[in-house]
Every structure is written in structure tokens, then in C-alpha cells.
Amino acid sequence: MMHESPIKRRPSRRLYVGNVPIGDGAPIAVQSMTNTETTDVDATVAQIEALASAGADIVRVSVPTMDAAEAFREIKQRSSVPLVTDIHFDYRIALKVAEYGADCLRINPGNIGKEDRIRAVVDAAREKNIPIRIGVNGGSLEKDIQEKYGEPTAEALVESAMRHVDILDRLDFHDFKVSVKASDVFLAVESYRLLAKKIDQPLHLGITEAGGKRSGSVKSAVGLGMLLAEGIGDTLRVSLAADPVEEIKVGFDILKSLRIRSRGINFIACPSCSRQEFDVIDTVNQLEQRLEDITTPMDVSVIGCVVNGPGEALVSKVGLAGAKNKSGLYIDGQRQKQRLDNSNLVDELEAQIRAQVKAAEANKIDVKEING
């Protein structure tokens, strides 16, 4: 039973990446980036679709060469989700992918050369209603800013971002979002806090180069969680040295934990102890794998004993309280006459969860038909 989040979002402008709204209270979009060779069209499309199946709202694709830009043309035609093109330095690539239907240009205006080149890219974006993402990274600040501050600081990142913002402002282009990423949690958080006070455009959140699956997930959850809890952030990417699909899963887990946005099953599970009447850890791990296809938000509690089981079941759609041989089943907080056999718990609990998901989806359709 998802409760409404108490978080008050930072006011921001609305823009669209394809058909995905960003900012101005729109659901926080979760995105990732492909790591295939962009010129390998089939592999890149396959990864985009895997990310989409995991729930990605937006996918970013690196386009470092003109050959990659030509490949992007077919990739875009075959993609089921909006695509952000990642471009550095060469304005001609930006013009080409804009022609081929890019939904957003990730390009720093100050890095693509003279004013006429910047204007050409901005004019193309304006003509085709394509937003721009300014992306500042603590590891690649301009040389003069590095010399001025000596090391990456929040003020340094924000000064770099504002240089690019000022260029777009001068060209009267306002459909952009900004990121100020760093691998250090405190540096990234303070940078976003400062930037949030300076502009009203949407902010794209990320702790860059966060690390491997476990450590990177923890760093991202801490950093992004701090910002999101303050209402800062309109779209996010969890950067992991892992399968990009994991980035989407962790992103939704972060949003789910803050009650900002929910997708799929939210498992409430005990860490297990000597009171457990069944193997809680194995049961939850199997259920998570089996139920990955479910997108309907639903709370499921799996507790190994009757000490906390009934209480957690009160706030879950489906609840399980461990008991000897057969465990107690709860639906909407109500104890059911049926008990689940501990020897076949995963199969029986999966069936119960899927039945509730099916009922929830049917009810959603009925309400939609009633409301026209």
C-alpha cells in the first residue's frame, strides 16, 4: 500500500524528451546509457529494448563519430523509447542526429567551437523542438576553472554549468536541463543544491562513476536520496560498472524507497533470524527473479515468523507470516483461511501475488472504461 510521498518538489520548467515530460512536477524519469558500439545497430537496439523492458523512460546513446551518427538513424527508427544523443566537440554530429530524430542533445555549448557553430546547433534544436542537456562532470572541468579553484569544488562545477547556461540564454533558448555530476557524494550533492537556486530548468541527477553494482548502488542511493528528499531532481541515472539494466532497477528502487515513484513489487522482508520458519532469504531471492516481469506497483511482505509478520501484513497488499509447516497468508491486511505450505512456498506465494496483480490491472481497466 504505497503512501503518498511527503516530499515537495522543486518548481521547474517543463520540457519533453520525445513524449516523456521532464520537470514541473512530472514523474521523475529513470534513464540509462548503452555501452555497445553504436555502429553495431542490432546490438545497440537490443540493449535499448532490454532497458525499456526494465522500465527505462529514456536511453542515452553515445555518438562519437559521423559513422555512429549514420547508425543512429536506424537505431532511432527501431527504438521504442526516446533517445538522448551524447555528443562532444563536433557540432556537425549534433546537426546530423537532430536531422535523424534525436529526442535530446547532450552537448555542452561551450565545447563545440565558435559562436556560429553553437548557433547552428541551437537553431536546429529550436526548429525541431529538441531539448539540450548540459552535462558538467567534476573530472573534466575547463582548464581555467581547474586553475582557479585548484580542485573540483561545488562552486567550480556550478561556474562551469553557468557558462553553458549563459550561452543558451544569450541565444534565447530555454528548453534545456542540466547535470553537475561528481563521483564524490558530498561534492555532487552540494553542486546540485547550489545550481537549484540559480536556474529554473529541470535537473538531471547522477553520481558519476559511482562504482560496481553494490558499492555504486549504495553511493547513488545516498547521494541521489539526499537530493530527492529535498525535492531536487527531475530525471536521474544511476551510473554503475555493471549491466545497464541494473541501473534502471536501482533507479526505481531509490524512487520507490522515497515513495516518489513505484514500479513492480516492493518486497518488505526480514533479514531472517533463528525464529524463521522457512528460508526467507532464498524465498525472496527466488520471488524477485520470478516476478521481474511485473510492472504494477505492489507491496509484498515476507516475514519468517509471527512476531512481525502480522504487523507488516497490515501495510501490504500480500503478506506472509511464517509458522511451522504452513505460514499465514494475508491479503489487504486480512488473515486468510488458506495457509501456504512451507515446502512449496515460492510457487504458492507467486501464484497469490500474480492473482492480486491481475485483479489490480483489471480494476484499473474498469475504472478507465467508466471514466471514458
How distant, in Å, are the alpha carbons of 17, 94, 107, 346 from that of 125? 12, 9, 11, 52
- Are 151 and 175 in contact, with CB atoms under 8 Å apart? no
- Mapped onto helix, strand or coil, the DSSP state of residue 236 is strand
Phi, psi torsion values for 363, nearest 5 degrees: -65, -35
Task: At 335, list the grid cell.
Answer: 488473515
Is 305 labelled as part of a ligand binding site?
Answer: yes
**2 pLDDT more than 70:** no
Distance CA 129, CA 347 (A): 50
Task: For the chain, give the number of residues.
Answer: 372
How distant, in Å, are the alpha carbons of 149, 233, 251, 369 from that of 207? 21, 12, 12, 42
Is 273 labelled as part of a ligand binding site?
Answer: yes
Task: Please classify residue 19 by burial: count the beta carbons closer than 10 Å to its beta carbon, then call 0-12 exposed, 13-18 middle and 19+ buried.
Answer: exposed
Q: Hunting for cell 510492472 — which residue is that?
A: 295
DSSP letter string, 269-283: E----TT-SS-HHHH
CA-derived radius of gyration, the chain: 23
Distance CA 265, CA 249 (A): 11
Higher pLDDT, residue 366 or 115:
115
- The pLDDT value recorded for residue 233 is 98
Q: Name the band, by pLDDT with cuts 50, 70 and 90, for residue 366.
A: low
| Out of 58-67, 218-227, 261-270, 347-356, least confident range | 261-270
Instruction: Supply the mean pLDDT for the chain.
Output: 93
Is 312 labelled as part of a ligand binding site?
Answer: yes
The percentage of the chain sitting over the pLDDT mark of 90, rounded to a whole number, equals 82
**357 pLDDT more than 50:** yes
- Cα 156 → chain centroid: 26
According to DSSP H, which parts of the chain are helical?
41-54, 66-78, 91-99, 115-127, 143-149, 154-170, 185-196, 213-229, 244-257, 280-290, 309-313, 345-370
Phi, psi torsion values for 2, nearest 5 degrees: -70, 125
Q: Work out whether strand 104-106 and strand 83-86 pair parallel, antiparallel, or are unpaired.
A: parallel
Distance CA 137, CA 181 (A): 5
Domains detected in the chain:
15-257 (3.20.20.20), 265-370 (3.30.413.10)
Give 195-227 pLDDT, tens digit per residue: 999 999 999 999 987 778 999 999 999 999 999
Contacts of 166 (CB under 8 A, 6+ apart): none
Q: Helices then strands (H, E): number in the chain? A: 12, 15
**238 pLDDT more than 60:** yes
- Mapped onto helix, strand or coil, the DSSP state of residue 126 is helix
Is 104 labelled as part of a ligand binding site?
Answer: no
Q: What average pLDDT does range 154-182 have in this prediction? A: 96
Please report, as a single letter, which amino acid is at residue 299: D
Q: Name the band, by pLDDT with cuts 50, 70 and 90, for residue 111.
A: confident
pTM of the model: 0.88
Q: How many CB atoms lie within 10 A of CB 25?
A: 12
